[in-house]
Chain A
């Protein structure tokens, strides 16, 4: 049973040049206890997708123009977040659905104590009085591995290191034991050793509480390490989705292949340049005609200019591996991957 099911979500931004469809018909679902990695380059719409779920878009410039975002409770109730009222959203935010942001340096209020900010969540959603909320916050800081949590509650954010602040953000997100955790580039602003610790922490909390996790990132290494399934986004669409091993070992979309090729690896021979995907991503202005990746694609066919590829199932039976591509010459695509890249364990 999926905790979150997004169907044909469309999110539009009004700009001076016209309406941009940042998210254009995205469908995805996340099961309880599952980590879904949402990857893509800058501007592919992955962050807008996660912001759309909690309706944190900069309205009125941005709006959800279509589709539904169903949040399912354990008892089977359904709430469509795309149509939820302000009051319903306020109840869901920070309680059933929580968010961890990219930059822990700026995501905590610099003037308020750590404890005040943590306790606010419990006061809002659990109606707790300050002393009780404070004590629960202390326990949660301890659970996310912050030493001397009692003293830290009285600190201001600038007294904490970046890694500690991200732990605080995670503690804040977990206070109400959310059913769904949205993590938007949670490790991008951190150095590598801290990244690993934060990912372990997210994973441990998922196992403990059974929360579903949507992990938005452009870091394939992070995804390979913690995600159960991966969705690859390009120009506002999910172009390929499937189990993590299948996405890395047996990709079906030229874009996924290109991403895998552009990642630096330990076994890359010295002096060899990384292979970028040529060209720039499109801006999604005006109506869509044909596949939006075709201008950058080495395997484009004539049909790609005419017809928008439909979603089709590929790969092993029952693996829920989906791709949007007209080409089925996967052998030729994968031949461009460096020899060992077909094995997941060599990815960072």
Chain B
């Protein structure tokens, strides 16, 4: 058949988002990264449900063993299955990344949006708060949060027991304290990573708020909050999404760093950072204990960075290439 094949007509009047999606699809590195991240997330969520080897079941008689048919990635010093620990750690690490970044998204967008929109003294005050928090050392802040709130005498602990008690009747067991403390790691990381987000959103909002369409929105009677969240933030969503994608690996890295120092996730829970920290101690005798967690952590960080770069290119209309 030699019929001339007509190319499908380019999507006439595609919206900004479908346009961005079209450009993202052409970015192979970003697509592969997204696939890797989805795969890692799915395995992390599913494996602990299926595996016969819980992440915290120790077998001291077995001790550390290299990868084998029974333990695909080997076992750690206490004979715990490394694959199970890696997957459970993936849940924690990804959750830290997503929850903390989500928190930073909500706080940063609201804070920056309101400061930028109202301007003047409100802006001055709100941004000086950001400046002060910027100067505050992150580690000290996290230590303070954990020291002040992450013990059993707080209302937060009662709330945790009440909520977690719904699914586990032994919620008050001290063995679950690390899980409780994990929430404060989420909170502490989220509450320090919104600062840059607030600055980015504020800058965007300031450049947008004098636009005629904002005046037009005021002229139909939209209120202040409606303008900030209904009209200004959606316009700034491109940079916000990109920065969010780049914040996730950053937060995960800080979590790994905190765990490495013994401040973040605690045994018997696991996270990728904690596994790397543990593996580093026995680097020369049991190399698989650091090789696998290190590989997965690096892969995730690289993927998020590639995906963030891809999103930035796809959402930036200035680099809009045709065809």
Q: B194-232: which residues lie under 8 A (CB-CB) from chain A?
A: 211-213, 215-223, 230-231
Measured between beta carbons, the chain A residues less than 8 angstroms from B120 are 60
- Asked whether B154 is an interface residue with its Cβ less than 8 Å from the other chain, the reply is no
User: Whole-angstrom distance between the alpha carbons of A220 and B220 in the complex?
Assistant: 28
Is B213 touching A94 in the complex (CB atoms < 8 A)? no
Q: Known contacts A109-B235, A111-B235, A156-B15: does B215 contact A56 (CB below 8 Å)? A: yes
User: Whole-angstrom distance between the alpha carbons of A103 and B213 in the complex?
Assistant: 9
Determine the residue in chain A with the shortest Cβ distance to B233: A111
Out of B213, B223, B231, B235, which one reaches A106, CB within 8 Å? B213
Is A109 touching B15 in the complex (CB atoms < 8 A)? no
- Asked whether A212 is an interface residue with its Cβ less than 8 Å from the other chain, the reply is no
User: Whole-angstrom distance between the alpha carbons of A159 and B213 in the complex?
Assistant: 16
Is A120 touching B220 in the complex (CB atoms < 8 A)? yes
Q: A34-88: which residues lie under 8 A (CB-CB) from chain B?
A: 54, 56, 60
Q: Known contacts A155-B13, A156-B16: does B213 contact A109 (CB below 8 Å)? A: yes
Out of A95, A106, A124, which one reaches B222, CB within 8 Å? A124
User: Whole-angstrom distance between the alpha carbons of A169 and B120 in the complex?
Assistant: 31
Measured between beta carbons, the chain B residues less than 8 angstroms from A197 are none
Is B212 touching A111 in the complex (CB atoms < 8 A)? no
Q: Known contacts A56-B215, A106-B212, A106-B213: does B234 contact A112 (CB below 8 Å)? A: yes
Is B235 touching A93 in the complex (CB atoms < 8 A)? no
Is A93 touching B16 in the complex (CB atoms < 8 A)? no
- Asked whether B237 is an interface residue with its Cβ less than 8 Å from the other chain, the reply is yes
The smallest C-beta distance from B83 to any residue of chain A, in angstroms, reads 45
Give a binary string over A163-198; 1 marks a CB under 8 Å from any B CB, 0 the rest. Answer: 000000100100000000000000000000000000
Determine the residue in chain B with the shortest Cβ distance to A96: B221
Determine the residue in chain A with the shortest Cβ distance to B120: A60
The smallest C-beta distance from B322 to any residue of chain A, in angstroms, reads 15
The smallest C-beta distance from A69 to any residue of chain B, in angstroms, reads 15
Q: B232-247: which residues lie under 8 A (CB-CB) from chain A?
A: 234-235, 237
| B residues contacting the other copy or chain, number (CB 8 A) | 21
User: Whole-angstrom distance between the alpha carbons of A106 and B210 in the complex?
Assistant: 11
Measured between beta carbons, the chain B residues less than 8 angstroms from A102 are 212
Measured between beta carbons, the chain A residues less than 8 angstroms from B237 are 111
Q: Chain B interface mostly helix, strand, loop or mixed?
A: helix
Q: Known contacts A110-B213, A111-B16: does B221 contact A91 (CB below 8 Å)? A: yes
User: Whole-angstrom distance between the alpha carbons of A94 and B218 in the complex?
Assistant: 9
Is A101 touching B212 in the complex (CB atoms < 8 A)? yes
Is B235 touching A172 in the complex (CB atoms < 8 A)? no
Measured between beta carbons, the chain A residues less than 8 angstroms from B230 are 120
Measured between beta carbons, the chain B residues less than 8 angstroms from A54 are 219
Is B231 touching A93 in the complex (CB atoms < 8 A)? no
Is A107 touching B16 in the complex (CB atoms < 8 A)? no
Q: Known contacts A106-B213, A156-B15: does B221 contact A111 (CB below 8 Å)? A: no
- Asked whether A90 is an interface residue with its Cβ less than 8 Å from the other chain, the reply is yes
- Asked whether A98 is an interface residue with its Cβ less than 8 Å from the other chain, the reply is yes
Q: Known contacts A103-B212, A120-B222, A124-B222: does B217 contact A109 (CB below 8 Å)? A: yes
- Asked whether A211 is an interface residue with its Cβ less than 8 Å from the other chain, the reply is no
The smallest C-beta distance from A339 to any residue of chain B, in angstroms, reads 42
User: Whole-angstrom distance between the alpha carbons of A89 and B223 in the complex?
Assistant: 10
Measured between beta carbons, the chain B residues less than 8 angstroms from A110 are 16, 213, 235
- Asked whether A227 is an interface residue with its Cβ less than 8 Å from the other chain, the reply is no
Is A92 touching B221 in the complex (CB atoms < 8 A)? yes
Measured between beta carbons, the chain A residues less than 8 angstroms from B212 are 101-103, 106-107
Determine the residue in chain A with the shortest Cβ distance to B223: A90
User: Whole-angstrom distance between the alpha carbons of A158 and B235 in the complex?
Assistant: 14
The smallest C-beta distance from A3 to any residue of chain B, in angstroms, reads 17
The smallest C-beta distance from A49 to any residue of chain B, in angstroms, reads 15
Measured between beta carbons, the chain A residues less than 8 angstroms from B220 are 93-94, 98, 120-121, 124, 172
- Asked whether A296 is an interface residue with its Cβ less than 8 Å from the other chain, the reply is no
Given contacts A56-B215, A98-B220, 12 further A-B contacts (CB under 8 A): A54-B219, A102-B212, A103-B212, A106-B213, A109-B231, A111-B235, A111-B237, A120-B220, A121-B220, A155-B15, A169-B216, A172-B220
Task: Name 9 interchain pairs, CB-CB below 8 A, sorted by A.
Answer: A93-B218, A93-B221, A99-B219, A103-B212, A107-B212, A107-B216, A108-B216, A120-B230, A124-B222
